[in-house]
Structure 1
Amino acid sequence: MSAKVVIVGGGVIGSSVAYFLRATDPTVSVTVIERDPTYARSSSALSAASIRQQFSTPLSIQMSLFGIEFLRSIGERLEVDGVRPSIDLHEGGYLFLATPAGLDTLRENHALQRKLGADISLLDRAQLDARFAWLNTEDLVAGAFGESGEGWFDGYGLVQALRKKAQALGAHYVPSDVTGLVRDGRRVTHVEDANGESYACDVVVNAAGAWCRRIAAMLGIEIPVFARRRSIFNVSSPAQLERCPLLVDPTGVYFRPEGRTYICGTSPSPDNDPDDLPLDEVDHALFDDVIWPTLAHRVPQFEALRVENCWSGYYEYNVFDHNAIIGAHPDVDNCLFANGFSGHGLQQGPATGRGVSELILHGRYTTLDLSALGFARVLENRPFVEKNVV
Structure 2
Amino acid sequence: MKQTNNTVQKANPIKWVPSVYFGMGLPFVALSIVSVLMFKDLGIGNEDITYWTSLLILPWSLKPIFSLVMEIFGTKRQYLIITEMVSALMFGLICFALPLPSFFAISLALMGVLAVSGSTHDIAGDGIYMQELSAKQQGEYVGWQGAFYNLAKILTNGGLVYLAGMLSKTMGLQTAWMIIMAICAAIMFALAVYHFFVLPKEATSTKGKSFSEGMKDLLEVITSFFTKKYIWLYLVFIFLYRLAEGLAMKVAPLFLKDGVEVGGIGLSNETYGLIYGTAGTIAFILGSILSGYYISHFGLKRVLSSLVLIFNVPFVVYLILAIYQPSNLWWVGTGIVFEYFSYGFGFVGITLFMMQQIAPGKYQMAHYAFANSLMNLSVMVPGMLSGKLSTMLGYEGFFGVVMVATIPVILLSFFLPFAHKEDK
Tell me which interval the TM-score lies in, with the shorter structure as reference length. Answer: under 0.3
* Structure that is richer in helix per residue: 2
TM-score, normalising length: structure 2 = 0.26
TM-score, normalising length: structure 1 = 0.27
* Structure that is richer in strand per residue: 1
